[in-house]
Structure 1
Amino acid sequence: MPTLREITALMDDWYPPATADSWDAVGLVRGDPDQEVRRILFAVDPAPAVADEAAEWDADLLVVHHPLFLKPVHGVAETTAKTRTLGTLARSGCALLTAHTNADQAIGGVSESLALALGLRDLAPLLPAPAEPQDKLVVFAPADAADRVRAAIAEAGGGRIGDYTECTFTGTGTGRFRGGEGTSPVVGTAGELEAAAEERIETVVPRSRRTAVVRAVVAAHPYEEPAWDLYPLADAGLAETGTGRIGDVEPTTLRGFAEQVAAALPATEHGVRVAGDPDRPVRRVALCGGAGDFLLDRLAGSDADVYLTSDLRHHPASEFVEKGGPALVDVAHWAAEWTWLPVVEARVRAALGDTVDTRVSTVVTDPWRFRV
């Protein structure tokens, strides 16, 4: 049986906590990391009804999207819905793990799961996640010392591209120099112009390791004054992770697309609200799981035919439609994010096999209960 620590490590690998927004609270909320996990329940909200379901099913772990506590608390007396939820989980021995904004942006995360549930293809992030800042390092070394310099670069944290390590490029040429008074050149004699066969070594270095790698190169290099260049690299915006998604669907109308949305998402009293001409052609769709009106300005001039998200407010939505941009589809926050639950459940089952039982909660925690 896997431990809570092992499952937390899996989730952290798929949805790195470091990618969560600074205000967010993600990761393991309660539970002994060394406890064994037999049953895992997945839900959007850590609500009292969901905690009751976890306790009744004898779950060892509840994985949720929304955090239980976003603001600091000074006690957990069971006087609020949140603290009652925590109390129910604690009494039943059920751990709690949250993946929120770190799951929104990820591959296999909330927005991507919503896009796939709606049949979008050729997906790309609406707002690509910024890549870790990188530099290119170029250093010139005599051929007989080049391997030592390359090893020093790798050991100090340079030369990594994705899952590949010790990545360098080498060219050959001739270095010329004249040592000044008091120098002790490795090649030639001080005061005379010398020419030496050298290798040009190029590599990439995370900016956070810039100083460490340059120091390692200088320490490993045989020259008193090695020549090196450092160039900051631009972010090309090619990340597969990021906020929201945009992709293509089979050509339809706005009404037809809205009907597809209603059929794909779990039913709520909120339903599917649409702003735009029902007969408008729809081929390209942008979306953001959860509350996404912060992306409206970015989408105003895009090639999307429709933008789907949740919690759109009156004035921003009205002004957006008046500008003649994409049509709008507003769905229940809970329903949109629920589409992630079967995806993360499948990933856990693929990783852990029959060592755990899993279940997706169908308790509707959308706050709107009925219409009059």
Structure 2
Amino acid sequence: MRLADVIAVLDELYPPALAESWDSVGLISGDPDQPVRHVHLALDPTAQTVAEAIASGADLLLTHHPLLLRGASQIPSTTSKGQILRAAIKNDLALFNAHTNADRARDGVNDALADAVGLRDTTPLVPANELRLEKIVTFVPHDDASKVIDALADAGAGAIGDYSRCAFLGTGVGTFTPGEAANPAIGERGRAEEVPETRVEMVLEPRRRTAVIEALRAAHPYEEPAFDLLAMVPLPTDQGLGRVGELATPMTLRTFTAHLAGALPAAPVGIRAAGDPDREIRRVAVLGGSGDSHLADAARARVDAYVTADLRHHPASEHLADGGPALVDAGHWATESTWLPLVARILTERLGPDLQTSVSEICTDPWTVRA
């Protein structure tokens, strides 16, 4: 299959529109038309994981973290990022990442973490903005309606849940008078025309607006196709940052911390907890990666414990002093790498057994020594 086929599945699973405005997600390097037989997955695009992907014969390295988050105007091979990019390009290894879009989406980082922790009936800790859709409405001669619908669907319109090419059709009469400089597909210059037409309505995501309008103009038989673009009332969504759920069996914070040590991938940094060791833990919030900016959200969720990473001394101390839930810092790499086997399995299910997947065995947590 082509790299573009894999990207289409990844963008469906983890829509780029869910990413933070500051984030960098999607194809970092590679040709969308290049063949892909083997996808290697890692949390970070480091020299080690790129070398591991190349040695495995992979065509694509899929990571959570981006290589060029802040952007760059120069990437010489004298820098670490330049060396990574050079090695990937020399070996036809495409690089792709899904970052904060995979944090928010279902079957993403936080669902994988919640499953590893053992949480049931989860909901987002910080719900994403409601899903926004638009509707395009156009008017086509009856015989051309199917062709236009196909073109709009190929550009991303008409997707509703597990259904594609969804459209509503109505009939009516369109009227127009071609000007002297016009080149009408139907009718004559200067003469009023009435044409039986089909009204076509299809929904689309705002990010697909340009592609859909271009497809409409290319497929429509009229020189100047008429269309309306309508904003729709946002729809509720169950996507968002973090997850909140309950354990099947409550346990003390001391036991819960030990439980996490066995449930999450092992890293040298280990797992640390803050709070009364004998506090009962039943309702839990999780957020993979850096999470101390959401301490207030965890407190508002009325959980007994908040599992995340990269917690700082003063915010954690003040949070506990104000009566907030117990805190568990399980490490950035450990809380996010639980996603890798999940997305590997989904890719195989969606794209078939001919696509080989492998998950990195390298712990890319920068903290490597603990005394």
- Structure 2 matches for 1:1-372, cutoff 5 A? 2-132=1-131, 238-250=236-248, 251-372=250-371
Following superposition, the deviation at residue 234 of structure 1 comes to 7.8
Show structure 1 runs of 4+ deviating over 6 A. Answer: 158-161, 205-208
Q: 1:47 to 1:232 in 2, by over 3 A?
A: closer
Structure 2 residue runs without a partner (length 5+)? 135-148, 169-202, 207-229
Is residue 130–residue 234 contact of structure 2 (8 Å, CA) maintained in 1? no
Equivalent-residue separation in structure 1 for 2:370 and 2:129 (angstroms): 42
State the identity as a percent. Answer: 47
CA spacing shift, 1:79–1:127, aligned 2, 3 Å: same
8 Å contact from structure 1 (residues 272, 330) kept in 2: yes
Query: Which whole-Å CA distance do the structure 2 matches of 1:336 and 1:234 have between them?
Result: 31
Deviations 1:215-239 (A, max 9, x none): xxxxxxxxxxxxxxx999687xx52
CA distance in 1, matches of 2:160, 2:359: 37
Cα pair distance change 1:207/1:331, threshold 3 Å: closer
Deviation at 1:301, TM superposition (A): 3.4
Cα displacement string for residues 151-182 of structure 1 (whole angstroms, at most 9, x for unaligned residues): xxxx99x9997568679xxxxxxxxxxxxxxx
Question: Residues 268 and 159 of structure 1: is their aligned pair in 2 closer, same or farther, counting only changes over 3 Å?
Answer: closer
CA contact (8 A) 2:60 2:93 kept: yes
Q: 1:64 to 1:159 in 2, by over 3 A?
A: closer
Task: Assess if the C-alpha contact under 8 Å between 1:300 and 1:323 holds in 2.
Answer: no
Where do 5+ consecutive residues of structure 1 fail to align?
136-154, 168-204, 209-229
Question: Within 1, Cα distance between the matches of 2:367 and 2:231?
Answer: 54
Q: Secondary structure at the match of 1:113?
A: helix
**Per-residue deviation, 1:100:** 0.3
Counterpart Cα distance in 2 of 1:77 and 1:281: 53
Q: Give the greater-gyration-radius structure (CA).
A: 1
CA distance in 2, matches of 1:5, 1:346: 19
Distance in 2 between the 1:268 and 1:231 partners?
47
- State the 1:133 CA deviation: 5.0
Length-normalised TM-score, structure 1: 0.73
- The 2-side partners of 1:278 and 1:44 are apart by 31
Distance 1:78 1:133, change over 3 A: closer
The amino acid across from 1:78 in the alignment is S
TM-superposed deviation, 1:74: 1.9
User: Do the aligned residues in 2 keep the contact of 1:132 with 1:206 (CA within 8 Å)?
Assistant: no
Q: State the match for 1:190 in structure 2.
A: none
Aligned mates of 1:369, 1:80 — CA distance in 2: 22
Question: Aligned letter for 2:267?
Answer: T
TM-score by length of 2: 0.74
Contact 1:345 1:358 in 2 (8 A): yes
Aligned residues: 299
